[in-house]
Amino acid sequence: MPLSPRDLAGCLLDVGAVRLQPLDPFTWASGLKSPIYCDNRQLMGYPEVRDQIVEALVAASMAQNPTLIAGAATAGVPWAAMVADRLKLPLAYVRPTPKNHGMGRQVEGPLAKGHRVVLIEDLISTGMSSLRCAEALRAEGAEVPAVLALFSYGLPQAEAAFAAARIAIAVLSSFEVLSAEAEVRGILDIDGSEALKAWRADTVAWSRAHGGV
């Protein structure tokens, strides 16, 4: 049976890949305070779930007719490698910035020029890191029709940025689905659910109100 968005949301909660703490927010690397933290690397330790995720990524990738699969470093790389292996396609990975030594490359692997590339991420937050990777591929002469991700926070700024770049987003599960599943399981009460909605509507204002930048 195909992996549904609710199935994946349940897995994320079951293995602790997503944690929800509206009353004791996390601090992101940027300094922003957030009631949610996602570490999809945890999923790689569960072979059955991992296989289902790869199958879903394969199906989503095939819909874009790619000739090359790329992974966004670092967390997108293992998923991209497994998808490329299943599809028997070339694999590349993209650094956030060009390497500061050697050949100075940002896109590692085969040259992307002339390829139709699907870029795979584990997570989309603001979308900026994904779009930097997509632009690096485009700079090499590749076409990048879509970014695939396991999970997205669905932040308005990310949706606007992808629309401006004319790149589609396809995700296996979403903030809305996960929030609903957390409510069903009793992980979130009404106040907690409202806190998550307020955070997503304006991450900066929410962060500042909770002691972050």
The pLDDT tens digits for 22-72 are 999 999 888 889 999 999 999 999 999 999 999 999 999 999 999 999 999
Chain-centre distance of CA 34, in angstroms? 17
- Select from 32, 1, 36, 49 the least CA-distant residue to 174: 36
| Structural domains of the chain ordered from first start | 5-201 (3.40.50.2020)
Q: What is the pLDDT of residues 201-213, one digit of tens each?
A: 999 999 999 999 8
Alpha helices in the chain (DSSP H): 5-14, 47-62, 77-87, 128-139, 156-165, 175-184, 190-201, 203-209
Average pLDDT over residues 78-95: 98
pLDDT-derived band at 100, boundaries 50, 70, 90: confident
Query: 151-200: per-residue pLDDT in tens?
Result: 999 999 999 999 999 999 999 999 999 999 999 999 999 899 999 999 99
